[in-house]
A and B are shown apart, each in its own frame.
Chain A
Amino acid sequence: MPDIASLRKQAWQAFEETGLPTTRQEEWKYTSLARLGSVLGEAWWTRAEPASLKAADIDALAIPNLDAWRIVFADGRLVESVTSLPEGASLSPLSELLAGNGQQAATALQWQADAPLFNGAVAANSALAEDGLCLCLADGVVLNKPIYMLHIASQPGASHLRHGLWLGRQAEAHVIEHYAGAGEEAGLTHAVTLVHLGEGAQLRHDRLQDESLKQFHLGRLAVTQGRDSSLTSHAVALGASLARTDIAVDLSEPGAACTLNGLYMPTGRQHSDQHTQIDHRAPHCCSREHYRGVLDGRAHGVFNGKVVVHEGASGTDSAQSNANLLLSDKAEIDAKPELVIHHDDVKAAHGCTVGQLDDKQLFYLKTRGMSEEEARQVLTFAFADSVLTGIRQPALRRFIEKRAFSKLPIDMDAEALVG
């Protein structure tokens, strides 16, 4: 039985040794965390005092009309949960597991020093996370509604969250992580989600980061996939002054498949960094990645998509695309697809584009009577929306569209457009 206290201590020591990543590290070349300390103070990791939220505050930020099991966290602490999951599904707050000092808590807190995209901040999270959600699905358990996790950051200080999702053989779930903010002051949200998919398990994971423009956001999703399991992810990054999301997928057994879709829309002076790494470790795994960025103002975006095909991963099928639309000549994008192949007999493709709206399309729309402004809006919308078409719940998709396009000078009937 691991001792949680010593595990935490180890993690903290690791953080003290490693520290926050710096721009001298290749993976952090374009994203400096120096502002964490200068804005939030030397002890930037200090936990926030959770706000006491009223039901109306929560409802105002929640996705409307979403048929889901809702779980709410305020400033890193659980404030609303569900009790009625189907048999074979268990849902435990990390805070309870920590008190019980059990194996599950220890597993959730493993800090993965050897994992891809690991950094010192993850160790800090392991040492400091107070709450989160540990969802376990026994073999064959299928959740017929999404688990909707709403995280509200409204207080200064840091929220360290740790979630663990364990899906047994042939289990199925849909988890939505929504990060919203209502704070006037700067704070840090640091959320790490560890996922294990058993044989044939299926997970849909949608992540919407829509925090206040003062917030710092560090997010991480690390998935280990068993044989023939499948992951479909949508990662949408809209909010925060500085946001970094790491997604690491380990296709560790034959026949596993993942699809990573992403949309980032930094505007103003926002900095938005998305790093993904997909490791093909076993034969006949399939990965698809499709990320799009829309950048305006003086925003800075980063996309780094790494695909590693390990020795022995024969029959690998991997395709990646990244497209960026710059709406302003002061916006900046650093886009880097990376393909590392250690095995022959693989199919791997990637492509990356950076550009403005297509003049031919603009002209076509205008000859049909659309004003220049409307034509630009319509094309921008269509560009970004193409990565959201795989979202199954209309309420979720419409909400994301509405939030995304409230950032741009766009005023249109999105529903009619995508019909």
Chain B
Amino acid sequence: MLKIENLHASVDGKKILKGIDLTIKSGEVHAIMGPNGSGKSTLSNVIAGRDGYEVTEGSILFHGQDLLAMEPEERAWAGVFLAFQYPVEIPGVNNVYLLKAGLNARRKHLGLAELDAMEFMQLVREKARLVELDQAFLSRGVNEGFSGGEKKRNEIFQMAVLEPNLAILDETDSGLDIDALRVVANGVNALRSADRSIVMVTHYQRLLDYIEPDVVHVLAEGKVLKSGDKSLALELEKRGYDWVREEAANA
């Protein structure tokens, strides 16, 4: 589904990603772990297409298409979704309006009929239950006055409505208490399917107790230093990241 090769990227002239290689197959859940400043968020943003990230080398193919040549909204239509680390507040634009516009644009792209207001509201209510989001939030401004946990739940709720093929969860677990984490994890697990891949970017092994990954990668200094199964995450939890760095340096 996603094939990243030798990806180099800079922000403000500073090299952050220095040759990322990553292949994600349909239906897989990958965790990308790494210390602060390792380039995790940069990778998420480059995949989603944020301005200000300059790709200097390498490629990202999504279902064989050149993702880097596409606008952020075209990536969304193609099925890429980013759950933001810091979701922005957009007062005055209500959640339902945003999702309806987004979903119908995607359906149009896929050659499907747009949902009418009734079908759409039915879908939205069902998905809101999935992440235990109060119905009252639906008609509020996007993230307007939401708590940190509500914002993160709203991200997963949006993902549930938009049903992407590739979802990148950028530190969705950070700042969540254990109850909120459980709700978010249940939501994500309910969305696992054979035609959907999920990439979790995280600091903490704790998230992986709730969402079991197929593959774990260690990202440090702009490169994937090591990949393994979920036992790698447990090892990182116990031993930290330095041994991975040393191992890579000695290799």
Contacts and interface: CB of A to CB of B under 8 A. Distances in A.
Interface of A: 358-361, 363-372, 374-375, 378-379, 381-383, 385-386, 416-419
A385 B92 contact: yes
B103 interface: yes
Interface string B96-114: 1111111101100000000
If over half of B's interface residues share one DSSP class (helix, strand or loop), that class is named, otherwise mixed; here it is helix
B94 A368 contact: no
B139 A364 contact: no
B240 interface: no
B62 interface: no
Contact of A364 (B77, B87, B162): B87
Given A370-B105, A419-B139, A364 B76 contact: no
Given A368-B162, A378-B97, 6 more contacts: A360-B88, A364-B87, A367-B49, A368-B98, A369-B162, A378-B101
A42 B113 CA distance: 63
Contact of A368 (B50, B51, B76, B139): B76
A359 B72 contact: no
Interface centre among B75, B76, B94, B97, by most chain A C-beta atoms within 10 angstroms, is B97
A206 to B, nearest CB: 19
Contacts of B94: 417-419
B153 to A, nearest CB: 16
29 contacts: A358-B88, A360-B88, A361-B90, A363-B50, A364-B90, A365-B90, A365-B93, A366-B76, A367-B75, A367-B76, A369-B76, A369-B101, A369-B103, A369-B162, A370-B73, A370-B98, A370-B102, A371-B73, A371-B105, A372-B73, A375-B73, A378-B97, A378-B101, A382-B91, A382-B93, A383-B92, A416-B96, A417-B94, A418-B92
B207 to A, nearest CB: 21
A382 B162 CA distance: 23
Contact of B51 (A359, A416, A418): A359
Nearest to A360: B88
B92 A382 contact: yes
Nearest to B81: A367
B218 interface: no
Interface in B51-92: 51, 71-73, 75-77, 81-82, 84, 87-88, 90-92
A374 B76 contact: no
Contacts of B71: 366, 372
B197 interface: no
A365 B154 CA distance: 14
A369 B96 contact: no
B84 A364 contact: yes
B69 to A, nearest CB: 15
Interface of B: 48-51, 71-73, 75-77, 81-82, 84, 87-88, 90-94, 96-103, 105-106, 139, 141-142, 158, 162
Contact of B92 (A358, A370, A372, A381): A381
B93 A369 contact: no
Contacts of B98: 365, 368, 370, 378
Given A382-B90, A382-B92, A369 B106 contact: yes
Contacts of A363: 48, 50-51, 72
Nearest to A373: B73
Nearest to B138: A419
B137 to A, nearest CB: 12
B17 to A, nearest CB: 19
Contacts of B97: 378, 416-417, 419
B109 to A, nearest CB: 8
B244 to A, nearest CB: 31
Nearest to B86: A360
Nearest to A368: B102
A364 B102 CA distance: 11
B161 to A, nearest CB: 10
B101 A364 contact: no
B93 A367 contact: no
Nearest to B52: A359
B88 A370 contact: no
A417 B94 CA distance: 6
Considering the complex of A and B, which 7 residue pairs feature the smallest CB-CB distances, nearest first? Answer: A382-B92, A369-B102, A368-B102, A369-B76, A366-B72, A369-B105, A366-B73
